[in-house]
Structure 1
Amino acid sequence: MAVRLALLGCGTVGAQVVRLLHEQADDLTARVGAPVELAGVAVRRPDRVRAVSLDRDLLTTDALGLLKRPDVDAVVEVVGGIEPARGWLVEALRQGKDVVTANKALLAEDGGALHDAAVAGGADLYFEAAVAGGIPLLRPLRESLHGDRITRVTGIVNGTTNFILSAMDATGAGFTEALEEATELGYAEADPTADVDGFDAAAKAAILASLAFHTRVTAAEVYREGISEVTSADVASAREMGCVIKLLCLAERVDGAVAVRVHPAMIPRQHPLAAVGGAYNAVFVEADAAGQLMFYGAGAGGSPTASAVLGDIVAVARTVVARRAGGNGLRQTGLEAYAELPVRPIGEVVTRYHVRLDVADRPGVLATVASVFARHGVSIATVHQTGRSSDATLVIVTHRAPDSALTATVAELRHMEIVRSVASVVRVEGETPAG
């Protein structure tokens, strides 16, 4: 007896899921123990569906009606967005139908509602494709490392911004030029806001933190900065320090709490994440027993994402077959929040900083600036000064300090007559990992 799926959405990813189900039908039957078939495909505009291996009779515009059908065993959602996807998936889970989703925005905003619905309906919830595309990352976090204590997750989880920053580092181009290149090559959307302003990465950071620390973290609780303010001067300064700038998502366990943030950061070129170029993704996981682990690969695109969706489909289909044989299968949602750790505000996060100031070039300026840092408890590690006419540039790298202390320091500097401008503030992360 076949395992029958309701597919919600048939765009770039959905079309690739259809293709893989068709091309790998025999292998899937062998892996699952039963054929895996589409019961129907819900789309808004059937005339625009381009999946070549799809039987057009399967198309419908009634997603809710499709997922409620008694012959549907599981629901696969690749539509994206919050509504109507949330209503559809909650209904499916409450009915006891397992769900596979790639919807990072929904999971980051209201994963708790999906978890609760899955528990109420006795259904499974899988979402490997929601973070880092085809990289097998979420299942290791929620299964392979479930017996370990994860302390920190650091990742490059947005291919568009990584391509832009890699281009800036390689060519010396400014942000605007690098963004134009990314758009021309198809790495950036016509409206790149979700990527370059960090919204996409923040949603993924929330999911990673929720899994790693068994605590519900929403995207709204993730501190977020984008990369549009990163300049070629910042990139050059990072290079002089032996660093590279990346848009990082960082989730860490600190003193009984969780800190989750997304922002540009300088990391040493010896760090494994520094070598991740182009539109690739990578996530660096640190755990008590397992130590340091690296997950790397294509983070987006129809085929890689569909590969992750298909892996979840196999897991769900096996569970369906096991239940039919009288077993219970493996019940899981991956979003258990038993730890309930508080989420730390950004002001309490401690790290290092690279601060570039345009100042008046006259005696005593450096001492005056240094006194401001000292007054707020921010220790200076290095200072580099270059002069030009009556002005100078100070590049200051600090020791570790709370974000609130650095923020207060910068606020005071901005109001000083000798400081022409605070040109940039970039965090410095990642001691070189031990070999």
Structure 2
Amino acid sequence: MMTIKLARHFTKRSLLFTLLTLILPTTGFSQVLDNPVQPVLQDVQRTTDRVRNQVQQRVQDNVQQRLPETLQNLHQGVVTVANDTMNRLPVLGANNQELFTEVTLDDGTRVLEREWLVVASAEAEQVLQKLGSELLAKQELGAVGMTVLRFKVPAEFNDEELLRRELPDAEAASLARHYVYDTQGSAATADTEQAAQQRWCETPVTIGMIDTAVDTAHPAFASHTIVQKDFLANGIAQPTAHGTAVAGLLVGSHEDYMSLVPQAKLYSAAIFHRHNALQQGAALLPLLEALNWLAEQQVRVINMSLTGPGNPLLEQAVKRLSEQNILLVAAAGNDGPAAPASYPAAYDEVIAVTAVDGHGAIYRWANQGEFVEFAARGVQVKTARRDGQVGYETGTSMAAPAVSAAAACIWHENKLQNVAEVRQALQQRVIDLGTKGRDSVFGFGLLTAE
């Protein structure tokens, strides 16, 4: 049974990497995560069932032909381990203390194990204590108009329907799992034509971003002051590659590429925890805290190059910020054209951005749907990378900052009064692509500074 013990240390993603490196070429991987092979894993996970079955068949063939017997036994052990065991990812703090654990549900959604969030009330706290729940945090979020309880339930109460029955009606309506969100960077293949980014203005506008931490020591930020705040417990490792790429697009200064708004003041909220070189995630409560903080800083435009599940708490926060005349911009997602809508991009109050290449062709893995509002260049765009490098990145994550920059510049230069006017003004700056008028692929069209 040694095989099974070894297998329990494998995640689904690490197994895929081990096996797929035998059959997939290694060309032009992005560094938008802290390890350049992650985009390949993301592409594999986004394929349809048909393609996935074909890949699995190829894996089986290659396992038999190319793996030594010991690794074949390891493979057999891995595939027999239960999914919840394979997909448990502990997050460690100082002194290697386990702070929480990510698990993957049957539908592929990532959550913190047995953790839930709900709008706080004395009645809700009493009910949760009677159920034997552990109250982990009580977070007041004044700018978004709520106080949130974070709690962990015993295994027998880890069920949404059951918890809703037990909680008071008002609090039950706000109940949400403690979801985990992903960045939306992807592979920049070597044969893809590179696209130059357009500068929107030299005006000292203010923009907020919610992402991984930014490597502020990168040479591209030498002449910039980035106001950065993280929303993670002390000692949790944080990735920097994705946030550095997004910040580089917005305000970076480098002789090899042009940033969107080089004079902007950038507020960066870091919410992503790092498991290892291949895996990272951002929990819902830090996302809500980040939105609250940026609203307190009176930031008018917030860029969110991340996606995940919709839920009542995130929806309420988005609505409250929109009511305060704050414009939210989000990546549409990189899960493929047949994937369901991703959040926060799919909320009506949020501008959802898809990615195109230098010829206006849609990025092959971009989500599609009626929620898509604008397209921007996001395929092979040059920006800051981790470890002081500069290079090309791809994904709807790289397209969203262009719309955030455009909105901030147009809002300031035209002295517009509210978010609705800004969205109308953006529609006047597009090149219509695809079906005439707004469509589910390009939205209103490609936003251009020309």
- Is the structural similarity TM-score above 0.5? no
Q: Which has the larger radius of gyration?
A: 1
State the TM-score, normalizing by the size of structure 2.
0.29
